[in-house]
Structure 1
Amino acid sequence: MSLFPADIISTAETIIHEFTTAGLMLSTAESCTGGLISGALTEISGSSAVVDRGFVTYTNTAKIELLGVQKETLLRFGAVSEETARQMVHGALFRSRAAIAVAVTGIAGPGGGSAEKPVGLVHLAAKSRTGALIDRKMLYGDIGRSEVRLATVRTALEMILSLR
Protein backbone atom coordinates (compact mmCIF):
# COMPACT_ATOMS: atom_id res chain seq x y z
CA MET A 1 0.00 0.00 0.00
CA SER A 2 1.28 3.43 -0.93
CA LEU A 3 0.98 6.70 0.91
CA PHE A 4 -0.16 8.33 -2.34
CA PRO A 5 -3.07 7.85 -4.78
CA ALA A 6 -2.49 5.44 -7.65
CA ASP A 7 -2.29 8.15 -10.34
CA ILE A 8 0.52 9.95 -8.51
CA ILE A 9 2.41 6.69 -8.02
CA SER A 10 2.00 5.84 -11.70
CA THR A 11 3.42 9.20 -12.78
CA ALA A 12 6.25 8.95 -10.26
CA GLU A 13 7.10 5.45 -11.57
CA THR A 14 7.25 6.84 -15.11
CA ILE A 15 9.60 9.62 -14.00
CA ILE A 16 11.89 7.26 -12.10
CA HIS A 17 12.02 4.82 -15.02
CA GLU A 18 12.60 7.45 -17.71
CA PHE A 19 15.14 9.44 -15.69
CA THR A 20 17.03 6.28 -14.71
CA THR A 21 17.20 5.18 -18.35
CA ALA A 22 18.42 8.64 -19.41
CA GLY A 23 20.85 8.97 -16.49
CA LEU A 24 19.17 12.15 -15.27
CA MET A 25 18.72 13.40 -11.72
CA LEU A 26 16.19 15.86 -10.35
CA SER A 27 15.68 18.08 -7.34
CA THR A 28 12.67 19.73 -5.76
CA ALA A 29 12.03 22.99 -3.93
CA GLU A 30 8.81 22.79 -1.98
CA SER A 31 6.87 25.18 0.17
CA CYS A 32 3.13 24.41 0.36
CA THR A 33 3.66 20.69 -0.38
CA GLY A 34 6.16 20.30 2.47
CA GLY A 35 8.15 17.54 0.74
CA LEU A 36 5.27 15.60 -0.81
CA ILE A 37 6.76 15.76 -4.31
CA SER A 38 10.01 14.23 -3.09
CA GLY A 39 7.97 11.82 -1.00
CA ALA A 40 6.00 10.62 -4.03
CA LEU A 41 9.17 10.13 -6.05
CA THR A 42 11.01 8.32 -3.26
CA GLU A 43 8.03 6.02 -2.80
CA ILE A 44 9.35 4.28 -5.93
CA SER A 45 12.07 1.66 -5.63
CA GLY A 46 15.22 2.79 -7.40
CA SER A 47 14.50 6.48 -6.88
CA SER A 48 17.93 7.03 -5.31
CA ALA A 49 19.37 6.97 -8.85
CA VAL A 50 17.14 9.91 -9.79
CA VAL A 51 16.25 12.07 -6.78
CA ASP A 52 19.33 14.09 -5.87
CA ARG A 53 17.77 16.23 -3.15
CA GLY A 54 14.68 18.05 -2.01
CA PHE A 55 14.52 21.45 -0.36
CA VAL A 56 11.57 22.09 1.94
CA THR A 57 11.59 25.85 2.31
CA TYR A 58 8.42 26.73 4.14
CA THR A 59 9.64 30.06 5.50
CA ASN A 60 10.95 33.07 3.64
CA THR A 61 14.23 32.74 5.54
CA ALA A 62 14.63 29.17 4.27
CA LYS A 63 13.90 30.29 0.72
CA ILE A 64 16.62 32.93 1.01
CA GLU A 65 19.23 30.80 2.81
CA LEU A 66 18.78 27.48 1.00
CA LEU A 67 17.68 28.53 -2.48
CA GLY A 68 19.04 32.04 -2.91
CA VAL A 69 15.64 33.68 -3.35
CA GLN A 70 16.19 37.42 -3.18
CA LYS A 71 14.74 39.20 -0.16
CA GLU A 72 13.61 41.98 -2.50
CA THR A 73 11.58 39.47 -4.54
CA LEU A 74 9.77 38.28 -1.43
CA LEU A 75 9.09 41.83 -0.29
CA ARG A 76 7.87 43.03 -3.70
CA PHE A 77 5.93 40.00 -4.95
CA GLY A 78 5.45 37.79 -1.87
CA ALA A 79 6.33 34.18 -1.21
CA VAL A 80 3.41 33.01 -3.34
CA SER A 81 4.33 34.44 -6.73
CA GLU A 82 5.65 33.48 -10.14
CA GLU A 83 8.84 35.41 -9.39
CA THR A 84 9.50 33.49 -6.18
CA ALA A 85 8.75 30.12 -7.81
CA ARG A 86 11.22 30.93 -10.60
CA GLN A 87 13.95 31.88 -8.14
CA MET A 88 13.22 28.77 -6.06
CA VAL A 89 13.57 26.46 -9.06
CA HIS A 90 16.77 28.17 -10.16
CA GLY A 91 18.22 27.69 -6.67
CA ALA A 92 17.17 24.04 -6.51
CA LEU A 93 18.70 23.34 -9.89
CA PHE A 94 22.03 25.04 -9.31
CA ARG A 95 22.41 23.91 -5.70
CA SER A 96 22.17 20.27 -6.76
CA ARG A 97 23.46 17.79 -9.30
CA ALA A 98 20.05 17.67 -10.97
CA ALA A 99 19.38 18.07 -14.67
CA ILE A 100 15.82 19.18 -13.92
CA ALA A 101 14.23 20.84 -10.89
CA VAL A 102 10.71 21.75 -9.89
CA ALA A 103 9.53 24.33 -7.35
CA VAL A 104 6.15 25.05 -5.78
CA THR A 105 4.83 27.80 -3.54
CA GLY A 106 1.20 28.40 -2.70
CA ILE A 107 -1.66 28.72 -0.27
CA ALA A 108 -3.09 25.34 0.68
CA GLY A 109 -5.52 26.71 3.25
CA PRO A 110 -7.77 26.68 5.03
CA GLY A 111 -6.46 30.10 6.10
CA GLY A 112 -3.89 32.45 4.62
CA GLY A 113 -5.76 33.47 1.52
CA SER A 114 -6.76 36.95 0.39
CA ALA A 115 -8.69 38.49 -2.49
CA GLU A 116 -5.47 38.83 -4.49
CA LYS A 117 -4.07 35.44 -3.45
CA PRO A 118 -6.91 33.06 -2.62
CA VAL A 119 -6.70 29.68 -0.98
CA GLY A 120 -5.81 27.18 -3.67
CA LEU A 121 -3.43 29.50 -5.55
CA VAL A 122 -0.14 27.75 -6.34
CA HIS A 123 2.77 28.92 -8.47
CA LEU A 124 4.98 26.19 -9.95
CA ALA A 125 8.16 26.36 -11.99
CA ALA A 126 10.29 23.67 -13.61
CA LYS A 127 13.69 24.26 -15.13
CA SER A 128 16.33 22.22 -16.90
CA ARG A 129 20.04 22.84 -17.23
CA THR A 130 19.49 23.26 -20.97
CA GLY A 131 17.70 26.51 -20.13
CA ALA A 132 14.12 25.34 -20.62
CA LEU A 133 11.79 26.95 -18.08
CA ILE A 134 8.07 26.49 -17.64
CA ASP A 135 5.85 27.98 -14.99
CA ARG A 136 2.22 27.62 -14.13
CA LYS A 137 -0.23 29.53 -12.02
CA MET A 138 -2.82 27.12 -10.71
CA LEU A 139 -6.08 28.10 -9.08
CA TYR A 140 -7.23 24.83 -7.55
CA GLY A 141 -9.84 26.57 -5.42
CA ASP A 142 -10.71 26.08 -1.78
CA ILE A 143 -10.94 22.28 -2.15
CA GLY A 144 -9.28 21.44 1.16
CA ARG A 145 -5.67 21.56 2.30
CA SER A 146 -4.83 17.94 1.45
CA GLU A 147 -6.47 18.15 -1.97
CA VAL A 148 -4.63 21.37 -2.89
CA ARG A 149 -1.35 19.75 -1.89
CA LEU A 150 -2.05 16.54 -3.85
CA ALA A 151 -3.20 18.52 -6.90
CA THR A 152 0.07 20.45 -6.70
CA VAL A 153 2.06 17.20 -6.60
CA ARG A 154 0.22 16.00 -9.72
CA THR A 155 0.95 19.21 -11.60
CA ALA A 156 4.60 19.25 -10.51
CA LEU A 157 5.16 15.65 -11.65
CA GLU A 158 3.58 16.45 -15.03
CA MET A 159 5.87 19.47 -15.38
CA ILE A 160 8.92 17.32 -14.63
CA LEU A 161 7.90 14.89 -17.37
CA SER A 162 7.38 17.71 -19.86
CA LEU A 163 11.02 18.80 -19.49
CA ARG A 164 12.73 15.41 -19.77
Structure 2
Amino acid sequence: MRRSFVWPAVGCSAVVALLLFFAGRFLLALDDLASGEPVKAACSKVADFAGGSMPEQATGAVCTDTSGWRERGYEAAFRMPRADLAARLVAAFPRVRLISDETWGMTLRNRNESDQDRPEGKAWVVELEITYADDTTALVKLVATNV
Protein backbone atom coordinates (compact mmCIF):
# COMPACT_ATOMS: atom_id res chain seq x y z
CA MET A 1 0.00 0.00 0.00
CA ARG A 2 2.84 2.44 0.75
CA ARG A 3 4.29 2.13 -2.75
CA SER A 4 1.11 3.52 -4.31
CA PHE A 5 1.76 6.90 -2.66
CA VAL A 6 5.35 7.30 -3.92
CA TRP A 7 4.61 8.42 -7.50
CA PRO A 8 1.85 10.90 -6.61
CA ALA A 9 4.13 12.37 -3.93
CA VAL A 10 7.01 12.70 -6.42
CA GLY A 11 4.67 14.26 -9.00
CA CYS A 12 3.27 16.77 -6.51
CA SER A 13 6.79 17.69 -5.39
CA ALA A 14 7.84 18.29 -8.98
CA VAL A 15 4.82 20.51 -9.63
CA VAL A 16 5.50 22.54 -6.47
CA ALA A 17 9.19 22.92 -7.44
CA LEU A 18 8.24 24.16 -10.93
CA LEU A 19 5.70 26.62 -9.50
CA LEU A 20 8.31 27.99 -7.10
CA PHE A 21 10.84 28.33 -9.94
CA PHE A 22 8.46 30.27 -12.18
CA ALA A 23 7.21 32.41 -9.28
CA GLY A 24 10.82 33.35 -8.53
CA ARG A 25 11.47 34.29 -12.17
CA PHE A 26 8.30 36.38 -12.22
CA LEU A 27 9.28 38.20 -9.03
CA LEU A 28 12.75 38.94 -10.43
CA ALA A 29 11.19 40.40 -13.57
CA LEU A 30 8.85 42.54 -11.46
CA ASP A 31 11.81 43.77 -9.43
CA ASP A 32 13.54 44.92 -12.63
CA LEU A 33 10.42 46.77 -13.73
CA ALA A 34 9.73 48.24 -10.29
CA SER A 35 13.22 49.69 -9.97
CA GLY A 36 12.34 52.29 -12.60
CA GLU A 37 15.78 51.83 -14.11
CA PRO A 38 15.98 50.99 -17.81
CA VAL A 39 17.09 47.43 -18.46
CA LYS A 40 20.29 47.64 -20.49
CA ALA A 41 20.61 45.55 -23.64
CA ALA A 42 23.45 44.78 -26.01
CA CYS A 43 23.21 47.14 -28.98
CA SER A 44 24.06 44.31 -31.37
CA LYS A 45 21.01 42.43 -30.07
CA VAL A 46 18.80 45.50 -30.53
CA ALA A 47 20.02 46.07 -34.10
CA ASP A 48 19.63 42.39 -34.96
CA PHE A 49 16.03 42.38 -33.67
CA ALA A 50 15.38 45.42 -35.89
CA GLY A 51 16.74 43.44 -38.85
CA GLY A 52 19.96 45.39 -39.31
CA SER A 53 23.23 46.34 -37.71
CA MET A 54 24.53 49.39 -35.89
CA PRO A 55 26.02 51.86 -38.37
CA GLU A 56 29.80 52.25 -38.20
CA GLN A 57 29.44 56.01 -37.68
CA ALA A 58 27.17 55.59 -34.61
CA THR A 59 28.64 56.99 -31.40
CA GLY A 60 27.47 57.09 -27.80
CA ALA A 61 24.95 54.28 -28.26
CA VAL A 62 22.68 53.48 -25.32
CA CYS A 63 20.43 50.46 -25.77
CA THR A 64 17.58 49.26 -23.55
CA ASP A 65 15.18 46.35 -23.36
CA THR A 66 11.59 47.62 -23.22
CA SER A 67 10.00 44.17 -23.36
CA GLY A 68 6.92 43.47 -21.34
CA TRP A 69 5.09 40.39 -20.25
CA ARG A 70 3.72 39.52 -23.69
CA GLU A 71 5.72 41.65 -26.07
CA ARG A 72 9.33 42.03 -27.05
CA GLY A 73 10.82 45.46 -27.66
CA TYR A 74 14.05 47.41 -27.65
CA GLU A 75 15.18 51.00 -27.96
CA ALA A 76 18.52 52.47 -28.95
CA ALA A 77 19.76 56.04 -29.03
CA PHE A 78 22.96 57.13 -30.73
CA ARG A 79 24.54 60.06 -32.58
CA MET A 80 25.63 60.14 -36.21
CA PRO A 81 26.99 62.66 -38.69
CA ARG A 82 24.19 64.30 -40.74
CA ALA A 83 25.84 63.86 -44.13
CA ASP A 84 23.91 61.25 -46.20
CA LEU A 85 22.21 60.13 -43.01
CA ALA A 86 19.07 58.63 -44.55
CA ALA A 87 21.06 56.53 -47.03
CA ARG A 88 23.44 55.26 -44.33
CA LEU A 89 20.54 54.34 -42.01
CA VAL A 90 18.69 52.50 -44.79
CA ALA A 91 21.93 50.63 -45.57
CA ALA A 92 22.29 49.67 -41.87
CA PHE A 93 18.57 48.84 -41.42
CA PRO A 94 17.35 47.63 -44.86
CA ARG A 95 13.78 47.10 -43.68
CA VAL A 96 13.12 50.85 -43.21
CA ARG A 97 12.28 53.57 -45.71
CA LEU A 98 12.25 57.37 -45.42
CA ILE A 99 8.77 58.49 -44.37
CA SER A 100 9.29 62.20 -43.69
CA ASP A 101 12.13 64.69 -44.03
CA GLU A 102 11.57 67.92 -42.11
CA THR A 103 13.74 70.84 -41.02
CA TRP A 104 13.96 69.41 -37.48
CA GLY A 105 14.78 65.84 -38.53
CA MET A 106 13.37 62.81 -40.30
CA THR A 107 11.50 59.56 -39.75
CA LEU A 108 12.27 56.14 -41.20
CA ARG A 109 9.91 53.19 -40.76
CA ASN A 110 9.23 49.74 -42.15
CA ARG A 111 6.11 49.79 -44.31
CA ASN A 112 4.03 47.44 -46.40
CA GLU A 113 5.75 44.41 -44.91
CA SER A 114 3.62 41.27 -44.92
CA ASP A 115 4.06 38.44 -42.45
CA GLN A 116 5.78 36.43 -45.19
CA ASP A 117 8.28 39.25 -45.90
CA ARG A 118 9.23 39.81 -42.26
CA PRO A 119 12.25 37.77 -41.18
CA GLU A 120 11.44 35.13 -38.55
CA GLY A 121 11.89 36.34 -34.97
CA LYS A 122 12.42 39.99 -35.93
CA ALA A 123 10.50 43.10 -34.92
CA TRP A 124 7.11 43.77 -36.45
CA VAL A 125 7.59 47.53 -36.18
CA VAL A 126 10.92 49.28 -36.75
CA GLU A 127 11.07 53.06 -36.50
CA LEU A 128 13.94 55.53 -36.49
CA GLU A 129 13.27 59.09 -35.32
CA ILE A 130 16.08 61.48 -36.19
CA THR A 131 16.46 64.89 -34.57
CA TYR A 132 19.11 67.27 -35.82
CA ALA A 133 21.34 68.31 -32.92
CA ASP A 134 23.30 70.88 -34.95
CA ASP A 135 24.51 71.42 -38.52
CA THR A 136 26.73 68.32 -38.50
CA THR A 137 25.23 65.89 -35.95
CA ALA A 138 21.94 64.03 -35.57
CA LEU A 139 20.45 62.10 -32.67
CA VAL A 140 18.90 58.82 -33.80
CA LYS A 141 16.30 56.97 -31.72
CA LEU A 142 15.51 53.42 -32.83
CA VAL A 143 12.38 51.65 -31.60
CA ALA A 144 11.82 47.99 -32.50
CA THR A 145 8.87 46.02 -31.15
CA ASN A 146 6.68 43.05 -31.96
CA VAL A 147 3.44 44.76 -30.95
- TM-score under structure 1 length normalisation: 0.27
Task: Flag the structure with higher helix content.
Answer: 1
Which has the greater radius of gyration? Answer: 2
Task: Flag the structure with higher strand content.
Answer: 2
- TM-score under structure 2 length normalisation: 0.29
